[in-house]
């Protein structure tokens, strides 16, 4: 008796031959795992080393934030805290004004992100969907904004904000952050909009919709991944931005988190209040990590979709 079962099928009406179906052996459909090649092994080890070093840095900052100042100075760098002192975070939030800095950063980052994304969407739509003579030149002007270094623009920017009366104001910082992200946002959204079929506007035009109505009713609902990606990236950049906040904000009650941590770092050099500084660093980093961890799929989807056409 054969080890495999054969199934006889009735003879074909034309040829008169019988067909025998032999089922595949068990396990024959499994794919054998290929061994890692040397360059793949090196790549994985390299990424693992980066992930380990980054995680170790966060773990060290968290461990220090749980110590006392005396314990931090007298103990070894990687020595664990005797007990977790959550009161360090309360002191950082209240006494060190991290709560006020957090509120300023949240307000400025959200407002500038919303304004920047709205302006970018309206600027990208005619460049991607409405053909006109100098569309390529206009897009190149936007891309030039990615190439201009900040040290060239900070002096005229400071004088302009001073003339407009927006120096040392949250509104001025919101406007700077919104325009700071415009070149990258327009570039990504133009590429994303070009992946959408042009028949959508044609169908909307047949129904009597103009360009503005077609954009709001037809194109805008399809821009979810693209808008999400540029919004998340803009928010992270606005949250972590330091130089323009240092240049334009002078009042302590209007400082953002990066600027407030800089002030805490200077105070720690003289008052040796290191644990409060590290607690403030953890408060600053955790929202960014959560946002990126929860929405990284939207970032990847939006950026890769925009790269299909250019």
The domain spans of the chain are 38-85, 95-306
- Residue 292's contacts (CB-CB under 8 Å, 6 or more residues apart) are 232, 236, 299
> How close are the terminal C-alpha atoms of the chain, in Å?
64
pLDDT at 78 over 50: yes
List the single range of 137-141, 145-149, 254-258, 270-274 with lowest mean pLDDT: 270-274
Q: What is the C-alpha to C-alpha distance for residues 47 and 266, in angstroms, rounded to an integer? A: 34
Confidence tier at 32 by pLDDT (50, 70, 90): low
pTM strictly above 0.85: no
DSSP code for 215: I
Q: What is the C-alpha to C-alpha distance for residues 152 and 64, in angstroms, rounded to an integer? A: 39
187-201: pLDDT as tens digits: 889 888 888 888 887
227-278: pLDDT as tens digits: 888 898 899 899 989 999 999 999 988 999 999 888 888 877 777 788 888 9
235 and 113 Cβ atoms separated by less than 8 Å: yes
List the single range of 47-51, 175-179, 306-310 with lowest mean pLDDT: 306-310
Q: Which fold has domain 95-306?
A: MetI-like fold (1.10.3720)
Confidence tier at 224 by pLDDT (50, 70, 90): confident
């Amino acid at each position: 008796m054969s080890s495999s079962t054969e199934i006889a099928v009735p003879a074909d009406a034309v040829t008169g031959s019988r067909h025998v179906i032999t089922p595949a052996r068990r396990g024959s459909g499994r794919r054998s795992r290929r061994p890692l090649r040397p360059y793949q092994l090196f790549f994985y080890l390299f990424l693992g080393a980066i992930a380990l070093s980054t995680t170790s840095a966060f773990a060290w900052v968290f461990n220090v934030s749980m110590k006392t100042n005396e314990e931090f100075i007298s103990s070894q760098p990687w020595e664990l805290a005797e007990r977790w002192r959550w009161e360090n975070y309360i002191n950082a939030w209240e006494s060190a004004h991290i709560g006020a800095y957090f509120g300023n950063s949240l307000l400025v980052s959200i407002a500038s992100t919303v304004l920047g994304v709205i302006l970018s969407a309206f600027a990208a739509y005619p460049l991607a969907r409405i053909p006109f003579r100098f569309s390529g030149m206009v897009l190149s002007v936007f891309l030039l904004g990615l190439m201009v270094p900040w040290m060239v623009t900070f002096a005229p920017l400071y004088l302009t904000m001073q003339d407009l009366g927006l120096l040392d104001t949250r509104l001025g910082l919101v406007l700077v952050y919104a325009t700071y992200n415009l070149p990258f946002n327009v570039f990504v959204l133009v590429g994303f909009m070009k992946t959408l079929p042009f028949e959508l506007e044609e169908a909307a035009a047949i129904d009597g919709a103009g360009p503005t109505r077609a954009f709001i009713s037809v194109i805008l609902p399809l821009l979810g991944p693209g808008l999400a990606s540029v919004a998340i990236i803009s928010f992270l950049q606005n949250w972590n931005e330091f130089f323009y906040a240092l240049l334009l904000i002078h009042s302590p009650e209007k400082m953002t988190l990066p600027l407030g941590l800089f002030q805490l770092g200077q105070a720690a050099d003289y008052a040796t209040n290191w644990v409060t500084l590290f607690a403030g660093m953890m408060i600053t980093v955790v929202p960014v990590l959560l946002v990126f961890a929860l929405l990284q799929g939207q970032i990847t989807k939006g950026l890769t979709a925009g790269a299909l056409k250019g």
